[in-house]
Structure 1
């Protein structure tokens, strides 16, 4: 058995950042579920994009993924680039991604089978679009970010999981090519990836980075490449003297909030996210101590579960609350009702995510890796 050994030097501050990013995406979808069901909005979209731009944290995930994969597996893929190493790498990533993806799909299939029998009143026109049987093979094979089914379907956030998986399959060729610590290669590949990402935005109908089922795979791939190069910047300690300072990470969060609030072009956030990853990786002071507190570590640990499991709760709220609104003859949710709605959604997501993290993610991953 040839297990892919990994580098040790765990960069602890990055896990809590992943938790914060996942939580922001959850709140973004809470706002979507209220806004597009004519229940009001958590905050006015005309006044601020602080929530409506929350989809950009997925770009942070893609950049971070390239960074982390290069940190953990990069050297091994270069030193021992052969069938066994590639197989070990891909099996490791498959056992990380697929069990929870499969579990959430099965839960939704059961729900879609039961609901029409016992709760037919909650079903509307969007049901057929979201839960088309034609989309299931695409979901199970994780090719749900390649423009094969023209809508988000079943567990909607899972498009990015498919994008990540197929990016990993290409990464076994990309990493040996790019991970050379050659400044020219780093700069050239970064420039080309940014140009490609900009072209993707320009050609997209919405001209933003909210690219999901329609070539979200390319969005992931280009940002993953940038993430590989971020890691090489990290190894060269570029900007460390400044980025390691405690005020940098709060400053970058302020910049992110401002770009979201003023709804500036999405691509502006890419360099900010790059700096945030580097700053978190470099920082050894108070900010890291704060990020390593149990609550942030916990959110980081369950971030993947939060990301996928909240897709199930999204549909629960999406179909039930409009029915409740009609039954109670309510036009929009009041501020206290929106607060209760948000807290209920978040609580159910976090509690169920803790369960799936410990009993689905960890257990299935261990079992699958023992099979290799």
Structure 2
């Protein structure tokens, strides 16, 4: 499946638009969790201004007083067109979608539809920490299937996890992170087809968290799970949140394969009351009219991945880093620094740089840290210098 090329963007790199002083005026989690002398490169918020079409959609709604409850299918229609254009996928059926508050809450709702309390959910560790938190709160048991060499899905390991998950005849699900957080792995069509075949063999339901789908490196094409052969019973969650920095404007979409339509139809009606109407308008505008802005962002992220590699080679050469194919995250293997299981603690205390501790990501996270490189080259440079200073 080939993506359709776009014309080169003429927009400025959004990562170069804001000064550190301007960013420190923000009141979101990224900028209020730590003191002002700490550079925050941890939580998945980007240091960018909003795309102009998004700003226009929100301000127009506020001017109209259009701040009621969400309705209609415009969001799903915009995502379907985006999927055709970007991923060459025309299989996103608007009638098999539902608006949900955000991706993680949507994940929980999909797992409620496909599993029961005490059932197993398989995850590929190291993986996004809220997977553990939300699944635990939903009374699901987690079985880890660690990623294999190159941070890719290990089919044999996954099969063993599936076999154990369904032992005794219980229902089970597989929570697929695609692209993978924190490693940035972009799964191939063949890998996803192998997942679908295994899931069918063992009766495991696949729920795919595809929130980072719009964010891939140049030359890389994201493959939607529901687009591969055998994925007809799968469920997916997508959003414009990560691609356009809209986490504070809550809205996401649940998507069902043809054989999962009846499951999605059982989604409680009240779940659709959770998203913000203004959020839906913002996400729709991003997908429909924010392509040039996204292209400029992706080019800037490519530059930052290269810059980070150069900075680490110069200042922290024992840190192992492979530029990610997707997301705007960098998974740093810091075990060679001698900082123990949680190098992020040392970077914070002695370098005044906040990264996400690898230990939060489950098995395989010890000795690692996750860095958010969706910032300016200047902030990224200052951060690596601070990390190096933490070594004394």
TM-score scaled by length of structure 2: 0.26
The higher relative CO (CA closer than 8 Å, separation ≥ 6) is in 1
TM-score scaled by length of structure 1: 0.27
Say which structure is richer in helix: 1
Say which structure is richer in strand: 2
